Amino acid sequence: MNLKILLVAIIAAFGAASAQDSPNCRTSCGNVSIDYPFGSGKGCYRSPEFLVTCDRSSGEDIPYFIDRTTDLVITSISINMSEVEIMMFVGRDCYNSIGPVESDRPYFTLGSLKEFRVSTKNKFVAIGCDTHAFVSGRRWNESRDIGTGCISWCGRNNHIKNGSCSGVGCCEVAVPEELSSFNMSLQSYINHADILNFNPCSYGFLVAEGKFNFSTTYLANFESERMPMLLDWAIGSVTCDEAKGTNDFLCEGNSECDKNYTGPGYRCRCRGGYDGNPYVLNNCTNINECEIGKHDCKYKCVDIEGNHTCTCPNGYSGDGTKSGTGCTAEQSTVIKIVAGISTSAIFLLIFVAWLYLLLKKRKFILLREKFFKQNGGLMLQQRISGDRGSRDQARVFTIEELKRATNNYDANRIIGKGGYGTVYKGVLADNRVVAIKKSKLADQTQAQIEQFINEVVILSQINHRNVVKLIGCCLETEIPLLVYEFIPNGTLSDHIHNESKSLAITWDTRLRIATETAEALSYLHSAASVPIIHRDVKPMNILLDDNYVAKVADFGASKLIPIDQTELATIVQGTLGYLDPEYLQTNQLTDKSDVYSFGVVLVELLTGKKALSFDRPEEERNLAIFFLYSLKEGRLFQVLDERLQLDDVPSEINQVSRLAERCLRVKGDERPSMKEVAIKLQGILASTTQNHPWVQSSSNEHEGEYFLKEPSKDYDCTDGGIVSNASSSTFDSISKLTMLPIASGR
């Protein structure tokens, strides 16, 4: 039985081969080659679908499918790619000043060509400046339409570009898979009324990829009536495995099924090492790779049936290829000597590599020493050794210590990032959690280095519960690194401007935070060994620990004020919304500049709003100005934070509001000092604690009672200041070495 099936298959394949040899079979028509399973003439083709008619009525040979009436002009047939290129009509929709004058929307169907489909290597292209183009069709044995389309619109003429088909003057879209028929639809919503002078028509067509390049001249007149379109084809409607053993199976001899094609039907290809027509028996013949140079042999190529081999010359062994082991000489005395030399060379290379790494390490050590001296390390060591009795002196860390603390500055350790640098969370060898500030590169001078060292020493000696502690620094990098105590609960800004967090910050807590911040600034102005003006007081630079205790941070913009001076001339630096208007106009920095910024912080605590926001109405953009106006108009309750859930305005809020008004006065001389502000807030906090015994006592209670005995000034809330709404400011740095403010507020 199997022998009978084999004989039938051989006879069928032989019939396919002999059909091409028949004198009735044309091998070409015009410039198109006709190879089996295609044919022109009786018995020359596999089935009627593959019949090619050669029409000579026009004086030249033109190949068509089946007969002249189908009008499917063939321009090429590819056996290896299983493709046929035909000329497909171009659809058009034309207008004049009155309206539509011509409409040609072609319909295409493969009809009886059941083994053919529209290739997905085609693109559906539309040309026009008011063109809505669509193509819809069906697959074999399906009753529902599928389709796609695109829109081409021009706008301005200078937007139209040659070669661009992205929707301006020309658009294109992929074609749905396995279409057996389709029709086109072209529409113009304004009938080209405004563009007739350069685009009277819309055009649409399917075209093979790479066979169309858009030109702007096509908008005025696209002369092509047909465009090349690809059809895919295969043999039959069953898979390769189902066709095997039948008399219809064509992949015989040195031909095999194309495993990359999944149907419908099947396709043949020549086996590796063979070339020819895989649909004709014994037409796939051996390729002589050695003769045509298609091999990888290093020395000699020997052709064999369906393949080739590489050989080595006498005295050599190996696979003989360029990409493999090649050919190596057989062992001999000379080879042993060469091997010895090679071994010596390897040892020499290892020694050179070791020496290079040693020198590189030495260079790195010298660079660290250079940076250490350049950044004032010796000066800092002298300052530290000169004050051995102090337990709070800054510690000098090494590069390795901080790398280990931050897991080599792992991105997961980043807790803050801004325009001036990055802050990492680190864990020191003694398990202390710290914040490590790594600033960006900046220029540096000897004066700045001395100022930086002086500031590090002073800040490290600041011992106030409401100031973030500077633990030390690392001077072995080009830009020194600063190490601060780690404050875990984020910034005050996070808590008053985040709706979910702000509910936990009650008025009593806000008042305590304001009091603690004022105490810290008062300490910096009045009690530090050298007075310090913070110069960037804002909620982002006030950190909170787990108990909501305030910690003033980020001294990157701070200035040290000699005791014999009351003001400094500097380039204006700060944050819009918090800048002292007097400082902004005169460039004269005083401790009253911090008072103004603190006044804005008080207003933020009262209102829950940001100091500057362009999302608010124009009259409310600057919070300080709007607050002073509301206070003057007697509308304080309307601007208070709704999340405080107040039914009226308590006395302490009135007092804090009047204090904020004093802090926000334009003239610095009319503002209270930070010491006066701290005393006033301590008194308000103490009275609040007495009025609400259920509130847990603050650690500042006794200190507040003491300050209540001090005489204090009465503050008049009627004399409201007008704060300049600056639109921009310039920024400088106290130390371009490291002390630069960044987003984290550290």
pLDDT for res 505: 87
Mean per-residue pLDDT of the chain: 80
pLDDT for res 381: 62
pLDDT for res 57: 82
- Band (pLDDT 50/70/90 cuts) for residue 743 is very low
The average pLDDT across 494-523 equals 90
The average pLDDT across 679-708 equals 58
Express as a percent the part of the chain with pLDDT over 90: 35
Task: Report whether pLDDT(13) > 60.
Answer: no
pLDDT for res 133: 94
Q: Which of 93, 130, 232, 536 is catalytic?
A: 536
Task: List CB contacts of 148: < 8 A, sequence separation 6 or more.
Answer: 124, 134, 135, 136, 173, 174, 175, 176
Query: 492-708, superfamily in CATH?
Result: Transferase(Phosphotransferase) domain 1 (1.10.510.10)
In this predicted structure, which of 93-107, 221-235, 401-415, 651-665 has the lowest mean pLDDT?
93-107
- Band (pLDDT 50/70/90 cuts) for residue 707 is very low
Quote the pTM value: 0.45
Task: Report whether pLDDT(266) > 70.
Answer: yes
Q: Coil, strand, or helix at residue 347?
A: helix
Q: Is-cis flag, bond preceding 37, omega within 30?
A: yes
Bridge pairing between strands 395-397 and 470-474: parallel
pLDDT for 359-407, tens place per residue?
877 776 766 666 666 665 666 666 555 555 455 566 888 888 999 999 9
Nearest to 169 by CA among 211, 126, 105, 210: 126
In this predicted structure, which of 286-290, 487-491, 694-698 has the lowest mean pLDDT?
694-698
pLDDT for 578-618, tens place per residue?
999 999 888 888 889 999 999 999 999 999 999 998 888 88
The average pLDDT across 11-20 equals 48
Task: Report whether pLDDT(478) > 80.
Answer: no
Q: Are 54 and 26 in contact (CB under 8 A)?
A: yes
Q: What stretches of 296-332 show up as alpha helix (H) in DSSP?
A: none
Q: Specify the amino acid at residue 632.
A: K
Residue 577, by phi and psi: left (phi above 0), alpha (psi -120 to 50) or beta? Answer: left
Domain ranges in the chain are 2-81+237-275, 89-227, 375-485, 492-708
pLDDT for 198-228, tens place per residue?
788 999 999 999 999 999 999 988 999 999 9
For every residue of 183-219, DSSP letters joined together read EEEEE-SSTTTTTTTT--EEEEEEEETTS----GGGG
Express as a percent the part of the chain with pLDDT over 70: 78
Q: Are 256 and 267 in contact (CB under 8 A)?
A: no
- Band (pLDDT 50/70/90 cuts) for residue 725 is very low
Burial of 714 (0-12, 13-18, 19+ CB in 10 A): exposed
pLDDT for res 721: 34
Q: Which CATH architecture has domain 375-485?
A: 2-Layer Sandwich (3.30)
Task: Report whether pLDDT(732) > 60.
Answer: no
Task: List CB contacts of 166: < 8 A, sequence separation 6 or more.
Answer: none
Stronger pLDDT, 720 or 483, i.e. the higher one: 483
Across 289-293, 440-444, 685-689, the highest mean pLDDT is recorded for: 289-293
pLDDT for res 573: 75
Q: Are 590 and 583 in contact (CB under 8 A)?
A: yes
Task: Report whether pLDDT(40) > 80.
Answer: yes
Stronger pLDDT, 705 or 545, i.e. the higher one: 545
Q: Specify the amino acid at residue 573.
A: Q
pLDDT for 227-257, tens place per residue?
999 999 999 888 888 888 888 889 988 999 9
In this predicted structure, which of 40-44, 57-61, 554-558, 638-642 has the lowest mean pLDDT?
554-558
Tokens of 429: 């060898």
pLDDT for 536-585, tens place per residue?
899 999 999 989 999 998 876 777 776 556 566 566 777 889 999 999 88
**Residue 61 bears catalytic tag:** no
pLDDT for 336-357, tens place per residue?
778 788 888 899 899 888 888 8
Q: Are 657 and 684 in contact (CB under 8 A)?
A: no
Stronger pLDDT, 466 or 189, i.e. the higher one: 466
DSSP E strands, 293-385: 300-304, 307-311, 316-317, 328-329
Distances (CA, A) of 104 to 75, 128, 187, 189: 23, 15, 12, 17
Phi, psi of 435 (to 5 degrees): -110, 125
Q: Coil, strand, or helix at residue 676?
A: helix
pLDDT for res 610: 92
pLDDT for res 380: 63
Q: Is-cis flag, bond preceding 278, omega within 30?
A: no
Task: Report whether pLDDT(744) > 70.
Answer: no
Phi, psi of 264 (to 5 degrees): -70, 160
pLDDT for 137-172, tens place per residue?
999 888 899 999 999 988 766 678 899 899 999 999
pLDDT for res 683: 93
In this predicted structure, which of 41-55, 116-130, 453-467 has the lowest mean pLDDT?
453-467
pLDDT for res 391: 52
